[in-house]
Amino acid sequence: MAAAAGDVCGAVVGSRAGAGAGAAVAAEARFISSAKGKGLFATKNIRKGETVFVERPVVSSQFLWNALYNYRACDHCLRALETAEENAQRLLGKSSLVLPHPEQCSIRKDLHQQCPWCQVTYCSAECKQAALEQYHRVLCLGPSRDDPTHPLNKLQEAWRNMHYPPETSSIMLMARMVATVKQAKDKEWWIKVFSQFCNKTANEEEEIVHKLLGDKFKGQLELLRLLFTEALYDEHLSRWFTPEGFRSLFALVGTNGQGIGTSSLSQWVHACDALDLPMLQREELDAFIDQLYKDIEKESGEFLNCEGSGLYVLQSCCNHSCIPNAETSFPENNFLLHLTALEDIEAGEEICISYLDCCQRERSRHSRNKILRENYLFTCSCPKCLAQADDADVTSDEEEEGEGETDDAELEDEMTDV
């Protein structure tokens, strides 16, 4: 689905971005064909349940509506900043709620720090410094944080007025790409990193932009380009600010952006699940948690997590399969992506994830490919689809009813597994 990774992929994994220094990576990107691009392949035998790799994004950003609605997350790594109890209270709209076992909450408020100029919040001094060194010097609003006439605020407001929840991308992911290059001493290195992500044809780019912005996408894209240029223009990236270059950049983020979800409440629940409790206490705690989630669903619906998206070099190489052998998750409550094997994978075997959620994967081949064509611009040829190739290209009555309701929220559920 993209050009061959080349040497940059190895550089990203080993140093300034990607998997952390010294991290074991049991996979590598390989070029497959001009039609399919590259894929991710196991470099050793991997057992079911084993972590294939843990990857840090090249850039990431919280979704703008998500942040506006007080889903408080670290401005760099998206770690949830609320305690589990505060998280549950806000989602439930009940400030008197008290969670049992508060010691199982992993949030360390004593470590939180703010930018001294614009007051955005970070989960730690390390994140504040990392942001400052990579992109925040360019993007810091200083005393203009609440000034609606500041070019960056105008850009963000325009984006919010075009891309409503459920969100699947953010203009600020593109802004951080530009800011990263502007701040970098080795600008060409970063340009090369970004250029390796999946590229599309002009017609495909238009389809992606249309999907993100709707029927008026051409006028909206041009408005965003003008505001983007006013806020961030840089001569080293002049092509990104042309109509064609901006469309390509937009499509790059729309195609390669991986959803990120974090939740302090989810982390608390996982910690509670691991407690060794007497049977009666276990039953009471499980019943409390079950009822809590039911009540939260009534109050807040499906929007439970701090959500954003990021660009991941290795993860972006993973092709889709309707019977995936691996899955992504964010168990550390931040932007670190874990790719985990769902079954034994042999050395040399391609590692595939699913772009569909569990329910969508159980639908007919026709329905699955309709979703994939609409959202990712390809038709699947995985073993499951090939085995069902002779099935009629129709859906059941039940699927027909839901066909028109397939939306980005379903896709996002799969991407924001915490």
- Nearest to 127, CA basis, from 417, 335, 339: 335
- Helix, strand and coil percent figures for the chain, each rounded to 5: 50, 15, 40
In terms of C-beta density within 10 A (0-12 exposed, 13-18 middle, 19 or more buried), how is residue 403 classed? Answer: middle
Q: How far apart are CA 136 and CA 73, in angstroms?
A: 16
Tokens 């991941």 appear where?
312
- Structural domain boundaries in the chain: 33-57+312-389, 60-259
pLDDT (0 to 100) of residue 19? 53
pLDDT (tens, 9 = 90+) of the chain, 418 residues, equals 433 333 333 333 433 455 543 457 899 999 988 878 899 999 999 999 999 999 999 999 999 999 999 999 999 999 999 999 999 999 999 999 999 999 999 999 999 999 999 999 999 999 999 999 999 999 999 999 999 999 999 999 999 999 999 898 999 999 999 999 999 999 999 999 999 886 776 777 788 787 777 777 788 999 999 999 999 999 989 999 999 999 999 889 988 999 999 999 999 999 999 999 999 999 999 999 999 999 999 999 989 999 999 999 999 999 999 999 999 999 999 999 999 999 999 999 999 999 888 888 889 999 998 888 887 778 898 999 999 988 876 654 455 554 444 444 444 343 334 6
pLDDT (0 to 100) of residue 276? 97
- Nearest to 139, CA basis, from 249, 42, 61, 41: 61
CA distances from 111 to 122, 140, 189, 205, 391 (A): 9, 21, 33, 42, 57
The verdict on domain 33-57+312-389 having CATH code 2.170.270.10 is yes
Q: Residue 331: is the preceding peptide bond cis (ω within 30°)?
A: no
Q: How far apart are CA 4 and CA 31, in angstroms?
A: 5
pTM: 0.85
- Nearest to 166, CA basis, from 265, 59, 301, 292: 301
pLDDT (0 to 100) of residue 397? 47
CA torsion 210-216-222-226 (nearest 10°) is: -110
Instruction: Supply angle C-alpha 157, 162, 163, rounded to 5.
Output: 100
Q: How far apart are CA 393 and CA 367, in angstroms?
A: 8
